[in-house]
Structures are given as C-alpha cells and as structure tokens.
Structure 1
Amino acid sequence: MGLSPWGFVVTFGVVSLLMDVVYEGARSITGPFLGSLGASAALVGAVTAAGEATALALRLVSGPAADRTHRYWAWTIAGYLLTAAAVPALALPLGVAGASALILLERVGKAVRSPAKDTLISHAGSETGRGKAFAIHEALDQTGAFAGPLLVAAVLAATGGYSTGFAILAIPGAIAMVILFWLARKVPEPARYEATVEETEGDAVALSPDFWRYAVFVALTMAGYATFGLIGYHLSERGIAPVASIPVIYAIAMGVDAIAALITGKYYDQIGIKVLVSLPILAGLGTVLSFSGGFWTAIAGVLIWGAAMGVQESTLRAGVADLVPKQRRATAYGLFAAFYGAAWFVGGTLLGYLYEKSTAGLVAVCLAMQVAALVMLLLTRQRGSATSDR
C-alpha cells in the first residue's frame, strides 16, 4: 500500500477538514440566510430537515451501487465535487427557491459520497481500531467545521452580506479536491488494509436483527434532534444572539463535536456500543436547552448539541461497520443513513412546526423520542456485540 492505515485515515481527514470548511461554513448561516430571503421558521425547518434527509435517504441508492460496482473512489469523488460546486453557487441571487435547491444539492453530494467514503475508512480502521479511526477522521473533519463558520463570520463582519461569505468557500473546496485525487491514486484499493476477507457473496448475506435494532435506536434519537438551521433561526429571530455571532457559536459547537468524537471513539473500541447511551441523553438535553431561556442557557444547549453531533458523526459509523459483513458495508451504511434520515426529516419538520406553536410541545416531543431511543438501545446492546473482522 502507498500509505499506512493511519496515514490514509489522517489524509482523508484533511480532505474532510477542507470540505467541512466549505459546507459547514455555509450551514452555519443557512437559517438566517433563508430568513433574510423571506423564509418562515416552518420553511427553514423543512428545508434544513429535508437537506439532512436527502443526505441520508439517497444513500439507499448510492450505498448498494457502491457495493455492486466496487467503485468506491468514483462515488466518493463525485459526491465531493457536487458539494464543492453547490456551496459557492449560493452567492448567486437566486431567491428562496434557488437557494433551497442548492442547499439540497449540496446534501445530495453528501449522499453520493458517504457510504463509499465510510467504507474506505472502515478498511483502514480494521488495523487501527474503528472507533479510533472514525474518531480521528471526525476530529479533523470538525476542525474544518470549526474554521469554516469562523471564516464566514469574519466575512459577514467585514462585508455585512452573505454572497462574499459563500463565494470564498470555493477556495478550500478546490484544494480538497486536489488532495482527494492524489489520495485515490496513492491508495487505489484500501480494502487491502483488511487482512481477513469474507468469502460469502455480498448479496447472499442478510443484515442482522441487531443492525435493524441499532438503526431504529438512531432513528428515534434523530427524530428528537433539531437541526442547527432551526436553532440558528431561533437565536436570530428571538434576538438571543446577533446574526454575525451565530457562525461563531456554531464553530464552538463543532469544536465540542470533535472532542466528543475522540472520547466516545476511544471508549467504543473498549466497551462497544454501550458508550452510545450518551447519544440520546446529549441530543435531548442539547435540543431542549437550545430553545429554553436566555443567551447562556441557549449556548449551553448548543454546546451539548455539538457533543451529540460528535457521537452521531463518528462512533455510530464504527458501530455499523462492526455489525455487518464486509461485503455489505456500503449497503448497510446507505440503509442505516436513509432510515434515520427519514426520521430526522419528519422530526425536524415537526419541531419547526411546534416551534411556531408551542415551545413546551417541542420539548415534550424531543424528550419522548430520546426516552424511546434509550429503550431500543437497551434492547440492542446485549446482543449487539461487534462482529468485527479486524
């Protein structure tokens, strides 16, 4: 191999770092940006939730296609190209409909690349420990998620407009693509990192009941987990925080995300999916506090929200890799993401609606979902011991 497993993980993490500067920089102002174009809270909630659902549900197609074609690099590169093009295009004067379409297109890029990308990382993780591999990748990823909003905040403070903030994000996107093409040439077959190869044909291997219980657990958690678009809208519309400070708040949350990923990734390799008890607790508490009280309560909520995002974006993916056979991994990532993506769309839209009607109703729904998620995890964890092939 052209790189060690850790070299592969870290280099891929640098690509994700740069691309997170792009799309997390944009996402940090999505809510206020749509609001400036005349969008209502319900529309902001629907668009941002639909974006997340799109990024997840379309993996039903991209995951099995990646496994079928074995062209994991092609799917990864195509997805990143869509994101690198869609985000700077938000600088164009397209109105609410056009901006919403580009936000969704950026998320389509996420859907195209993610199952293949996660499969590539999971191969290297068989040597390093999957919890650690996904945690390091997420930590680098979230370094970009920290820097991107700060870059956008600086541009907003300097220019007072959104267009320049979106346009400048073309630069890190271009650099990321150069590194990604180099990495694909350097390590054309990351599957060789895995010493053990399962012989059973991929389509003949069924996904286990543990995998489906795991998917239900995550779906319930995400149904009660607000998007930052809605949180940012709340902070802006209620006058809790100045618009220019919202990307900074988001950046700090992404820093917490990276720390949470490293901690839970480490403990995942030691105790398995039991560490995921933390997810519904963090998701519920973070969402509730973000919409309760004044500035400092909301800030505490956003930081806890960020910790939940760190668990979601790293340790959950390690769990999928250890619950399914190697040859069905991209398919499983696609199914898993689509399953909870649909739940996030329904939940995000519902939370946006409840926000306009009753904050107490929003809190009640959120807490009910997290309690149900905990119950499902308790049913899963005893039988969900990793079937890792590392």
Structure 2
Amino acid sequence: MQLKKATVFVILLGCTSLFSDMTYEAARSINGPYLEVLGASATTVGWMAGLGELLGYSLRVISGYLSDKTKNYWAITVVGYFINLLSVPLLAFAGFWQLAIMLMILERVGKAIRTPARDAMLSFGAHQMGQGWGFGLHEALDQTGATIGPLLVSAALFIKNNNYQSAYIILFIPAIIAIGLIIFAKSIYPHLENLEIKTKSLETKGYPKLYWQYLIAIAFLALGYADFPLIAYHFKSTNLMPDDVIPLLYALAMASDGIAALILGKVFDKSGTKALVLALFIALFFGPMVFLGGMNWAIVGMVVWGIGMGAQESIVKATVAHFIPPEKRGTAFGVFNAVFGLFWFAGSALMGYLYDYSIIILVAFSIIAQLIALVLLAAISGKIQQYFHTQQIR
C-alpha cells in the first residue's frame, strides 16, 4: 500500500514538473537568442546564465534549512513554483535586455526556493521505489515537459516569423497548469515525510566525509558544464541554424536527458555510482561537438549534453539522498546545490568570457574541468558503494 501511494506521489510530482519544465525550459531554449536580439553580448549572456544559477543554487541553503527546520515542505515548494513559473511569460513584455535578465534571474530564484523542499519530499516517496528509479522516473516526466516546451516555442517562432514575444506569452498556459497540480498534490499528500520508513542512521552529527568528497567531484562537473543559453548564443551568432531550429535541438537534448535518467536510475539502484561515472565519461565530449563542429556534430553534441544533464538531475541527487537521513535532507540538498551553483556560476561566467576570446580555449577548459570531476568520482566510487552497502545492512 505504501509503495503504491509513494509511486502515485512521485508520478503526480513528476507531472507537475512536466508542465513547469514545459514553461521554463521552453524559455531557456530561446533566452540566449532573445538576449542577442535585444543587444546583449556573449559575455553578458554567460554572466547572466552564471549569476542566475549562482543565486538559484546558493539560496537553496536557506530554503533547504528552512524546510527541515519548519517541516513546511509544501508551503515553501508552492511559493517557489509561483515565482519560478510566473516570471517566465512576463519576458514577453521586456523591451530591453537588462529587464529580461532580471526576469530570467527571478525565475532561477523561484526554483531555488522550491527545489530543496521538493527534492526532500521526492526522496521520501522514492525511498519505497529505490532512489535511483524514483528520481529517474521523476526526471523522465520532467524532461518530457522540457522536450515539449521547446517544440512549442519553436512552432510559435515559425508561425509568428521569429516573434519572441508571442513565444513567451503562450507559456502562461503550462505555468498555470503546473501551479494547479502542485496545489492539488498538497491537498492529498499533506505529510510526505511519513512515506519513508525511518531507519537508524550511521551518522548522528554532521554529514559523512564521503558526502563532502563527492560534492567536490560534482563541483568540478558544474565548473566545466556549459549552460544552454551560451550554446544557443553560439548557434545564432555563427548562423549555424535558423532561429526556430535552435529550440528543436534543446528539445532533442531534453529527450536525451529524460531517457538517460530512466536508464541510469535503474542501473544506479543495481550498480551504484558506476552509472554516474559512465554518464560523465560520455558527457565529456559535448564541448568540441557543439562549439567546434558543424550542424551534424551539433545534433550529436546536444544528445551527449542531454545525457550528462540526465545524470545530474537524477542519480547525482539520488546519491545525496543515500548519504543523508530524512530529517537533514532538505539542508543537505540545499548545501549541495549551493556549492554546485557557485561553481556553475564561475564556469559559466568564465566560459562566456572565453567565448569572446577563444572558443578553442573554452572547449579545453570545459573538458579539463569535467575530466577532473570524473577522476575524483572514480577514485571514491568504491568507498561510496561500500558506504551504501553498510547502510543497507544496518
């Protein structure tokens, strides 16, 4: 009975994410070209993407701590969804790039508010199913929306002759649906922490040392992982493809993300962090494909980029859930995401600058940072597996 209840909750939360991702991932697929139209430079786009992620991740420490302290997981999640989603269609009314950047950053702040509490609740439900499969299933539904959204704005751009305002306005629809779903979920699952069977934790104070070692490895991944606005900016500034095709490639990446999350989630529950090492090795090669290749390589590169994103949004989080007991999980997700965001900001800002200076150096930086992450993770993979096994026996 508990398993069925947990599964229904994960699916319902996944459907909420489907429509929310349809909203803001659709916007992210055209934010780069939109800023280019409004007169922003590549350095500005990279800085914006990095600052948005920095705020979007660093604020999660506060949000995660408050969710654990108050146990008000639902209230924090709902408020975050309102800010996250309603700021997106308002981009239609931004007449200059400075205001557009403010709204793009506000969208990231809204996501920062809701994510740690949402992830903690998701981990409560996923505990019954297997953390890898639970997070993977959620990510697959999430990325279904992230695939449909860019297709939606691509069609809007095609029909309206590249009118970006029309593309943003249509995103009011999925935003309202997502908000309605999260309010409905709150009404029928008011106490999600009861879904997870309480077990005695090996750690009574702080977080295990492996958690911090793992965090350092993933931080280097964030440092070298180019954000899509910069990739999209490159596609437009080099005239590699028409404007209405750029969202299609993002949709392809999101489809790759969702499929990878499902597969990696299942593999993770059976073989642990080996699945993550494999995914990160594959993702290592997206940089030269999207920044140095032609149209065909760009297509392959976006699939590879999507695989890496699928790993980040599913089994990277599932690993954190294994390290931390339920009552500390909101804070743990907040700390983890804040460090991730700090390194993402540094990497995005630097790569935006490097793009204007030398694309080859940008690609080299991306590969080196990801390679460091891969080596560090491979070095502690066996210890992580042993730690998980010890917890299960306990």
Q: Same fold (TM over 0.5)?
A: yes
> In structure 1, how many angstroms separate the alpha carbons of the residues matched to 2:115 and 2:182?
14
Amino acid in the other structure paired with 1:179: L
Residue 378 of structure 1 deviates from its aligned partner by 2.3
- Aligned partner of 2:328 in structure 1 is 328
Letter in 1 for 2:10: V
1:169 is aligned to 171
What do residues 323-378 of structure 1 show as CA deviations (whole Å, max 9, x unaligned)?
Answer: 11221101110010111111111111111111111122112111211221122112
Q: Using the alignment, how far apart are the partners of 1:34 and 1:278 within structure 2? A: 35
1:84 aligns with 85
Partner in structure 1 of residue 7 of structure 2: 6
Q: Aligned equivalents of 1:152 and 1:388: distance in 2? A: 46
Give the aligned residue type for 2:75.
Answer: A
Amino acid at match of 1:191: E
TM-score when normalising by structure 1: 0.96
Matches within 5 A, 1:129-278: 129-159=130-160, 160-198=162-200, 205-278=205-278
- Structure 1 stretches lacking a partner, 5+ long: none
SS of equivalent to 2:226: coil
Contact conserved, 1:223 with 1:348, CA < 8 A, in 2? yes
- How far the C-alpha of 1:256 sits from its partner, in A, is 0.5
Mapping of 1:349-368 within 5 angstroms? Answer: 349-368=349-368
1:221–1:279 contact (8 Å) kept in structure 2: no
CA distance in 1, matches of 2:110, 2:393: 30
d(CA) in 2 for partners of 1:245 and 1:367?
26
1:45-85, Cα deviation, whole Å (9 max, x unpaired): 11112212222111111111111111000111111100221
Determine helix, strand or coil for the equivalent of 1:184: helix
User: How many angstroms apart in 2 are the aligned matches of 1:153 and 1:371?
Assistant: 34
**2 CA distance for matches of 1:196 and 1:251?**
39
Q: Does the 8 Å CA contact 1:224/1:284 hold for their aligned counterparts?
A: no
Amino acid at match of 1:287: G
Aligned to 2:27: 26
CA deviation string 1:143-191 (max 9, x = no partner):
0000000110111111121111111111111111111111111011111
The answer to whether the Cα contact below 8 Å between 1:321 and 1:388 also exists between their aligned partners in 2 is no
Which residue of 1 is the match for residue 104 of structure 2? Answer: 103
- Structure 1 letter corresponding to 2:244: A
- Judge conservation of contact 2:201–2:325 (CA < 8 Å) in 1: no
Bigger shift: 93-102 or 37-46? 93-102
Bigger CA drift: 334-343 or 359-368? 359-368
Q: Which residue of 2 aligns with 1:294?
A: 294
Structure 2 unaligned residues grouped into runs of 5+? none
Relative distance call for 1:134 and 1:389 in structure 2 (3 A) is farther
Deviations 1:16-35 (A, max 9, x none): 00001100010000100000
Per-residue deviation at 1:198? 4.6
> Measured at CA, do residues 93 and 339 of structure 1 come closer, stay the same or move farther in structure 2, by a change above 3 Å?
closer
Hey, what does 1:374 align to over in structure 2? 374
Query: 1:347 aligns to what?
Result: 347
Structure 1 residues 371 and 84, CA, compared in 2 at 3 Å: closer, same or farther? closer
Partners of 2:279 and 2:308 within 8 A in 1: yes
Separation in 1 of the partners of 2:174 and 2:44? 30
Q: Aligned pair in 2 of structure 1 residues 93, 125: CA closer, same or farther (>3 Å)? A: closer
In structure 2, give the amino acid aligned to 1:169. L
Kept in 1: contact 2:287–2:367 (CA 8 A):
no
Shift of 1:380: 1.9
Matched, 1:38 2:39: yes
Q: Secondary structure, in 3 states, of the residue corresponding to 1:4?
A: helix
**Which one-letter code corresponds to 1:168 in the other structure?**
I
Distance 1:343 1:162, change over 3 A: same
Q: Which amino acid aligns with 1:210?
A: L
Letter in 1 for 2:168: F
**What TM-score do you get using the length of structure 2 for normalisation?**
0.95
- Secondary structure of 1:207's aligned partner: coil
SS at match of 1:29: helix
Runs of 4+ aligned residues of structure 1 deviating over 3 Å after TM superposition are 197-200, 387-390
352-361 or 275-284, which deviates more: 275-284
Following TM superposition, by how much is the alpha carbon of 1:310 offset from its aligned partner in structure 2, in angstroms? 0.7
Structure-2 separation of matches of 1:147 and 1:210: 38
| Counterpart contact for 2:222–2:344, Cα < 8 Å | yes
- 2:163 counterpart SS class: coil
Q: Aligned with 2:221: secondary structure?
A: helix
Cα offset for 1:262? Answer: 0.7
What is the rounded CA distance, in whole Å, between the counterparts of 2:282 and 2:340 in structure 1?
Answer: 17
